[in-house]
Amino acid sequence: KIDISSRKQSVEYYFISIVPVLPNRIMEGGNQSGVSEFILLGLSDQPEKQRLLFFLFLVMYLITGLGNLLIILAISTNSRLHTPMYFFLSNLSLVDICFTSTTIPKMLTNHVSGKKAIPYVECITQLFFFVLFGEIDSVLLTVMAYDRYVAICAPLQYTMLMTPKICALLVAMSWFWAYINALTQTVLLTRLSFCGHNEIPHFFCDISSVLKLACSDTFINDVVLLAVGGLTVIIPFIGILISYTRIFVTVMRIPSASGKWKAFSTCGSHLTVVCLFYGTIIGVYFSPTSTHTAQQDTTAAIMYTVVTSMLNPFIYSLRNKDMKGALRVLFTRKPGLSL
């Protein structure tokens, strides 16, 4: 039988005492077992498929980096795009570059070297940055939904509610919240023991996959993952749904068809990214594990770690005439010419 009261006291203890010791625990590693490395099984053990996957992920990674970098350059060099919506978009592009860089380079390196091992400390570090950038992505998408809500439902108050100071504060708070959550998840992981079994059926150190390898009690980790993770994923997703419900009601009151189309077109790109990102994350981390296999989890992880970040530049540029114009100017302007 499980002593529920002792479990609750243990959870309270970790929440109270975790903050002062977080940095030291990360530096020390905290591994309580003899496991010094994990084995990333990757996406396939067949040489033919491995070569194909290597070139596929290499191309996807290059497209992600180049596409998001062009978005950042186009926004930073075009004064007409110095608005809250594009400020948030440039930050999202930066985070997407960092997000994919957390996992893909290591997978490509392992393929070239022929090794599948990742040291314990490197695995924990990768997990920390994966959670960090993933949660910043989540919060930024919510902030962008709020920006669209204010622009469409309260246009007369937009300049007052979305000042440069407020926009910078929203981005800073998304980084701060994601940092605290990632650090908490990582340090709680370092208290676990691993008893020999060290094969991760993934191409990166995913937190749910690593937890399954622990031979010590993961009750606290599971509680924090669901509680704190839920605050960063489920609540923002609900906030996005509420924002778009209000937007839909407001747009439907616009008398002209052209006005409705213009309003919906400003939200279409963001809504597409939201569906891709949140749909796969909720399916992996917030659904019963008995309903999906390791292969399905890996496929979903590829969607929100690689595919979504790669598609973001295309979604926002192809559906947005302002972005298309800025990119056209970026490619055609002469060197030394300022906008």
State which amino acid sits at residue 242.
I
Side chain identity at 60, as an amino acid letter?
Answer: M
Residue 36 is predicted with a pLDDT of: 85
Taking only the tens place, the pLDDT of each residue in 193-235 is: 888 788 888 889 988 889 888 888 888 988 888 887 777 777 8
Residue 328 counted as domain residue: yes
**Residue 74 CB-density burial (10 A; 0-12 exposed, 13-18 middle, 19+ buried):** buried
CATH code (residue 97): 1.20.1070.10
HSE (side-chain half, CA atoms, 13 Å) at 214:
20
Q: What is the pLDDT of residue 294?
A: 66
Q: Distance between CA atoms of 256 and 270, rounded to whole angstroms?
A: 23
In a domain, 125, yes or no: yes
Answer yes or no: is pLDDT of 263 > 60. yes
Q: Is the pLDDT of residue 307 over 60?
A: yes
- What is the reported pLDDT for 25? 46
- Residue 271 belongs to a domain: yes
Q: Between vectors from CA 237 to CA 161 and to CA 184, what angle results, nearest 5°?
A: 95
| Inside any domain, residue 13 | no
> Do the domain assignments include residue 3?
no
* Whether residue 188 has pLDDT greater than 60: yes
b/e burial code for range 138-155 (CB count within 10 A of at least 16 → b)? bbbbbbbbbbbbbbbeee
Question: Is 198 within 8 Å of 213 (Cβ atoms)?
Answer: yes
Measured CA distances, 66 to 59, 61, 71, 198 (Å): 10, 9, 9, 35
Give the span between the Cα atoms of 61 and 103, in whole angstroms.
10
From the number of C-beta atoms within 10 Å of its C-beta (0-12, 13-18, 19+), residue 41 rates as middle
Task: Please check whether residue 248 lies inside any domain of the structure.
Answer: yes
* Domain enclosing residue 312, as ranges: 27-332
pLDDT bracket for residue 170 (50, 70, 90): very high
Using CA atoms, how far apart are residues 191 and 205, in angstroms rounded to an integer?
A: 16
Domain count, the chain: 1
Q: What mean pLDDT, rounded, does the chain reach?
A: 81
> pLDDT tens digits, residue range 21-54?
444 444 444 555 567 889 998 887 777 788 888 8
- Cβ–Cβ < 8 Å for 11, 223: yes
Give domain status of residue 19, yes or no: no
pTM: 0.82
Total residues found in the chain within this entry: 339
Asked whether 319 and 89 are in contact (CB, 8 A), the reply is no
339 within domain boundaries? no
Cα separations in angstroms, 43 against 60, 108, 111, 135: 15, 12, 11, 24
